[in-house]
A and B are shown apart, each in its own frame.
Chain A
C-alpha cells in the first residue's frame, strides 16, 4: 500500500519534471527544425528554382540529407497552416 503510494508520488514527480523539460525545450525544438528547413532549402533550392550554391554541393551531401529532405517536404506542406502551431508553441495567453 505504502509502496504503491510511493510509486505514485514518484511517477507524479517524474511527470512534472518531464513536463518542465518539455516546455523549456519546446521553442528550441521549433527553432532547430526551422534551421534544418533553411539548411535544406539553401542547399537544394536549385532543385526548386532558388539561387543556390553550386549544384554539386547538394548532390555530394544528398545521401546524408534524408531527415532534412523530409523536413523540407513537411514544411512545404504545412507552411500554410502555421497560425495554430505558432499559437501553441509560443503559448498565447
Chain B
C-alpha cells in the first residue's frame, strides 16, 4: 500500500491536485482519499456531502473528511475516561474543568491528527493508495515531526526509568524486603508497567516514523508560479529534509500562458532546492473563472503518481 501526502501553502490547489490524482489513479487502483485540512474542499470538489465517515464515490474511489475538532474532542474524552476510572477513588481535581482546559494544550491537534492517520493506515489496508490532503504548512510540519519528537522524548524517559529500576534492583539486592508492609517495587524491566508502556509507545511511533520515511510513502509539494509560493515551498522543503521525509513530486499548478517565463524561473529555483525530484506542470483552469460548473476543474489526465514514474 502506498501513501501520498499533498502539501503546500494554502490556496495553491492542494486539494484539487490530490483529488485529481486520486481520480486518475482510481482508474487502475483502489484509492482512498482523506482530507485533513480543517478547511475542507473535498466534498465540494467531488460534488458530494461528506461527513466524518468514509464515502464510496466509485467502487475504486473512496472519500473521507476528518473533522479535526471532533477528533480532538473524542481523544480528550477517551483519555479523560481513563483518568476518571483510575482516579475515581482519589480526591482529585474537578475533571470537567480540567478537561476543557486540556483542549488548549499545545500538541493536542497534532496528536489527534497523527492518531487519525495512524488509525487510517492501520485499518484501511485494502486500498492500493491512500492519498492525504494536508492542512496548511505549519500544522503539517508539526504533525509530521511528531513521531520523531516523541521518540526522542520517550528515549530520554526510558533512560531515566531504567536508572530508577537499576537503583531499585541495587536496593533490593542489598536490603531485601524490610517487612510485610513494604510492597516490592518492580525492578525488573519486564515487570514495570511504565517502562513496558513507554516501550510500546516508542514502538508505535517508530513504526509510524519508518512508514513515513519509507519507500512506500511520498510527499507531493504543490506550488504556484510566483515568488511567495517559492519562498513558502523552500520552508517546506527544508522542513521535510530535516525530518528525512521523502519528497517525491513537485507540482507547479495554475500555470498561465502569458506567464511561462515566471513559471520557468520558479521551476529552475525549485530544481536547485530539490534536485532530482520530478516536476509536473498543471495549467490554470479557465473554467474556474468562466463560472462553468466543472468538477475537478478540468484537470488534464496527465498527473502521474510519483511511484509510477521510475
Q: Contact residues of A with B, CB < 8 Å? A: 21-22, 24-25, 28-29, 31-32, 35-36, 38-39, 42-43, 46, 53-57, 59-65, 67-68
Residue of A nearest to B173 (CB): A25
Give the distance to chain A from B167, nearest Cβ to Cβ, in Å: 4
B146, B167, B185: the one contacting A28 at CB < 8 Å is: B167
- B269 contacts across to A, CB distance below 8 A: none
B82, B150, B168, B197: the one contacting A32 at CB < 8 Å is: B168
Whether A32 pairs with B164 at a CB distance below 8 angstroms is yes
Main secondary structure of the interface of B (DSSP, over half): helix
Residue of A nearest to B201 (CB): A60
Binds A, one of B7-15, B61-69, B102-110: B102-110
The yes or no answer to B161 lying at the interface (CB within 8 A) is yes
**Most interface-central of B160, B167, B197 (chain A CB within 10 A):** B167
Whether A55 pairs with B106 at a CB distance below 8 angstroms is yes
User: Can you report 22 A-B residue pairs in the complex whose CB atoms are below 8 A from each other?
Assistant: A21-B175, A21-B176, A28-B167, A28-B171, A32-B168, A36-B164, A46-B105, A53-B149, A54-B146, A54-B153, A55-B102, A56-B108, A57-B150, A57-B154, A57-B201, A59-B79, A59-B82, A59-B83, A60-B79, A60-B201, A62-B82, A65-B194
Give the distance to chain B from A65, nearest Cβ to Cβ, in Å: 7
Using C-beta atoms within 8 Å of the partner chain, give the interface range for chain B: 35 or more
Residues of chain B from 146 to 174 with CB closer than 8 A to chain A in the complex = 146, 149-150, 153-154, 156-157, 160-161, 163-164, 167-168, 170-171, 174
B86, B154, B163: the one contacting A62 at CB < 8 Å is: B86
Whether B86 pairs with A63 at a CB distance below 8 angstroms is yes
* Distance, CA A60 to CA B193, complexed state (A): 12
Given contacts A62-B82, A62-B86, A63-B82, contact A28 B150 (CB under 8 A): no
Given contacts A22-B175, A65-B194, contact A53 B157 (CB under 8 A): yes
Leading 6 A-B pairs by shortest Cβ distance:
A53-B153, A32-B167, A25-B174, A64-B193, A63-B86, A25-B175
Whether A43 pairs with B157 at a CB distance below 8 angstroms is yes
- B83 contacts across to A, CB distance below 8 A: 59, 62-63
Residue of B nearest to A55 (CB): B105
* Distance, CA A22 to CA B178, complexed state (A): 9
Residue of B nearest to A53 (CB): B153
B86, B167, B176: the one contacting A35 at CB < 8 Å is: B167
- B175 contacts across to A, CB distance below 8 A: 21-22, 24-25
Residue of A nearest to B198 (CB): A61
* Distance, CA A43 to CA B170, complexed state (A): 24
Give the distance to chain B from A67, nearest Cβ to Cβ, in Å: 8
Residue of B nearest to A39 (CB): B160
Whether B171 pairs with A25 at a CB distance below 8 angstroms is yes
Residue of A nearest to B101 (CB): A47
* Distance, CA A36 to CA B111, complexed state (A): 26
